[in-house]
Amino acid sequence: MNHAIKQATTRLQVLVPAAIDGPFTYASQVPLAAGSLVGVNFANRHLVGAVWPVAADMAVPEAKLKYVSNVLDVPPLPRELMQFIDAVASFTLAPLGAVLQLCGLAHAAKLVKRPLTAPDYQPTLPTLSPEQAKAATALAAQKTKPILLDGVTGSGKTEVYFHVIADALAAALDAQILVLLPEISLTHQWIERFTKTFGGAPTVWHSHLTPAQRRKHWQATANGTARVIVGARSALFLPFQNLQLIVVDEEHDPSFKQEDGVLYHARDMAVMRARFAQAAVILSSATPSLETLLNVESGKYIRVELPQRFGVAEMPTVTLIDLLNEPPERGEFLSPTAKQAMLQTLARGEQVLLFLNRRGYAPLLLCRTCGHRFQCDNCSAWMVMHGKNIAHATLQCHHCGTRKKVPDKCPSCEAEAEMFAACGPGIERVTEEVRNMFALDETAPRLVMLSSDEAVAPEQWSAIERGEVDIIIGTQIIAKGHHFPRLTLVIVVDADMGLGGADLRAGERTFQLLHQLGGRAGRAEISGTVMIQTSQPQHPIMQALKRHDRNAVMKLERQLRQQGNWPPYGQLASILLDGVNEQNVLRAAQQLAREAPHDPRITVLGPAPAPLSKLRGQFRFRLLVKADKTIHLQRTLSGWLTGKKFTGVRIKLDVNPYYFL
């Protein structure tokens, strides 16, 4: 009897979504295919795990084996997804189970009552210009190498890849397509456009879905009902059954880099998943990243170009306003030239957009009596003032979220609050300045302020598109994707903010952002103007913007990074240590530095305090590891760091970091 049970028992390796490095051994009454999803008991929790395609561990004694509690009624994870999970873990050095966690297996646990119905796409595709048609043909022909779809803003990249999507859908009835967008705020307009073109909605995947929607969409992806999935970076880990094409829109966008948990770059990982899935991959951008451009040069990627703006619209004229020669009035932030241009544009019945990437009213509040600056208690950062009236304003830390009322008295000299001075501009303050330009009656322009402080309703975007708003004032969220046909003047309030500073890619990013803003102006029949306020008009980035000269910027960036052996010429990793006791953190960082591998091809910089040397009460020190391309960086790092533990100190490892705060 006993013997018979043993015969029926199969050993399996099950990977569970938890911060563990590999699968555990379980028993099952029946053999299960690799990728099958099973419920298991793990560390007193019930988890959904996946049967991992590795040989079962026979060393675990029979008596210690736990049985899987149930087998879920969904298709097993495809092999390419499991290979992809392995590869992401090897690249990022994150625990294998932590990468599996990104796949959201728990969404399979309870089958939805009303599953997604299969969409019936009936595409009515836009007619392409000869150049677009040529590009679409080139895209459709390339199946083995990633493609960079390279075209200026407004050149019709979306129309072109819509054709490729339609072809892929038609080629196989079970084909699935993934479109990655850098931000949720962009998806609304994209979905509308897609739905109009394809006669059916895509399946959406991002963090704003309700739990019920997530389950439904996950299951529809797993069983193949969902055919076109659009989402943020996490959609990359969905269990597609037959992934045929991945489109990464705005491939250069820094928000594709995941900053919590598993630190991966969704663009690079999309290329990786496409390789395992044998799917085509299209990276689309008007301002491709240096990494991608170099991959084109080396022949790893293919470039398909769309050289002109589609239709009649011309590239906007870029004017640099020298803030030193042409300063704004005292206490103001818009130069006379910018204000003049605003008035003229409004008089023609066209829209104006003012861009400033700073939320709140003022980035700093200080006491004029003693010079005290209001700083966050938890972070090495100034508190940002929100609201213009000191009596009602709040002080907010944009790093840890702390907020409090502005105190009645200076904490340092007890001067009254009327002695406090708000320094520098935030978008609330620029909005106030613009309001003050006009009489407060029905002739005043209609104005809207948009920032990430409040979610922008789809209706708000539509109202702007329809021209029901005259002036738009906003932060980064207005820079991307949106198409405002009546917009003809863009004013960049402070273009100097991004330049300088510790960011490796600051120049490239500033160019991308400002170029993108320029792309908002004059996209219909009317041509546009971009005015950039800067105190460094001679800066090469500014000069390149004026000439629309992307190559000049990229040439400069290449030189800088090549000279310093920075990525993509060399490899880089960041080791960030943090903890509540500053001395402990520093000592741990110093010890790691002493134990660094000795190799002339590796340079370890630091430890140095991170630019944000204190965040949420944690003190932060960083080591930067620069390595030659010939080094196997991951192997080196794990050899060095594995088993290193310091009481009260966390170690966060980021291979190919993008943020250095």
Q: Which chain residues interact with Zn ion by CB under 5 A?
A: 367, 369-370, 372, 376, 378-379, 397, 399-400, 402, 410, 412-413, 415
Cα–Cα nearest to 102, from 244, 212, 232: 232
DSSP per residue over 441-484, as a string?
A: STTSPPEEEE-TTSPPPHHHHHHHHTT--SEEEESGGGSSS---
Instruction: Please name every residue paired with 150 in a beta bridge, in sequence order, or none if there are none.
Output: 285, 305
Cβ proximity to Zn ion: between 31 and 401 the closer is 401
Report the distance separating Cα 430 and Cα 517, nearest Å.
18
Pick between residue 367 and residue 469 the one whose CB is nearest to Zn ion: 367
Strands in 16-156 per DSSP E: 24-28, 37-42, 45-51, 70-71, 147-151
Candidates 209, 260, 189, 90; CA nearest to 634 is 90
Q: How far apart are CA 237 and CA 218, in angstroms?
A: 10
Cβ of residue 410: shortest distance to Zn ion, in angstroms? 3
Select 240 or 374, whichever has its Cβ closest to Zn ion: 374
Which of residues 367 and 553 has its CB atom nearest to Zn ion in the complex? Answer: 367
Residues contacting residue 409 through CB under 8 Å, at least 6 positions apart:
415, 416, 417
CB of 403 to Zn ion, least distance (A): 10
- Within 8 A by CB and 6+ apart from 419, the residues are 367, 368, 369, 410
Q: CB-wise, 73 or 416, nearer to Zn ion?
A: 416
* 496, 458 Cβ separation under 8 angstroms: no
**Closest CB to Zn ion among residues 423, 444:** 423
* Minimum distance of Zn ion from residue 417's CB (angstroms): 10
Q: Give the gyration radius of the chain's Cα atoms.
A: 27
Long-range contacts of 339-343 (CB under 8 A, 24+ apart): 339/437, 341/489, 341/491, 341/529, 341/531, 342/434, 342/437, 342/471, 342/489, 342/491, 343/437
Select 349 or 401, whichever has its Cβ closest to Zn ion. 401
Q: Please, what is the minimum distance in Å from the beta carbon of residue 620 to Zn ion?
A: 12
Tokens linked to 95: 């625990």
* Distance in Å, CB of 375 to Zn ion, minimum: 9
**Please, what is the minimum distance in Å from the beta carbon of residue 600 to Zn ion?**
41
Q: State which amino acid sits at residue 275.
A: R
How far apart (Å, rounded) are the C-alpha atoms in residues 180 and 132? 21
**Residue 242: half-sphere exposure toward Cβ, Cα within 13 Å:** 13
CA 547 – CA 535 distance, rounded (Å): 18
Smallest separation (angstroms) from Zn ion to the CB of 366: 8
Beta carbon of residue 402, minimum distance to Zn ion (angstroms, whole number): 5
Nearest approach, Cβ of 372 to Zn ion (angstroms)? 4
Q: How far apart are the first and last CA of the chain?
A: 64
Q: Residue 165 or residue 585: which is nearer to Zn ion going by CB?
A: 585
**Residue 576 C-beta: closest distance to Zn ion, Å:** 17
The number of beta carbons lying within 10 Å of the beta carbon of residue 352 is 28
Q: Rounding to the nearest 10 degrees, give the CA dihedral for residues 451, 454, 459, 463.
A: -30
3-state secondary structure of 585: helix
- The residues, any chain, with a CB within 8 Å of residue 59's CB and separated by 6 or more, are none
* 224 phi/psi in degrees, rounded to 5: 90, 0
Instruction: Report the residue number, 336 or 401, with the smaller CB distance to Zn ion.
Output: 401
Q: Which of residues 369 and 638 has its CB atom nearest to Zn ion in the complex?
A: 369
- Residue 79 or 368 with smaller CB distance to Zn ion: 368
Q: How far is the CB of 400 from Zn ion (least distance, A)?
A: 3
CB of 401 to Zn ion, least distance (A): 7
How far, in whole angstroms, is CA 527 from its chain's centroid? 30
Q: How far is the CB of 61 from Zn ion (least distance, A)?
A: 51
DSSP type of residue 129: P
Contact 360, 432 (CB under 8 A): no
Buried b (16+ CB within 10 A) or exposed e, 286-311: bbbbbbbbbbbeeeebbbbebebbbe
Of 314, 316, 330, residue with least CA distance to 492: 316
CB closer to Zn ion, 105 vs 397? 397
Identity of the residue, 22 or 371, whose beta carbon is nearer to Zn ion in the bound complex: 371
Nearest distance in Å: CB 364, Zn ion:
14
Q: Which residue, 141 or 413, is less far from Zn ion as judged by CB?
A: 413
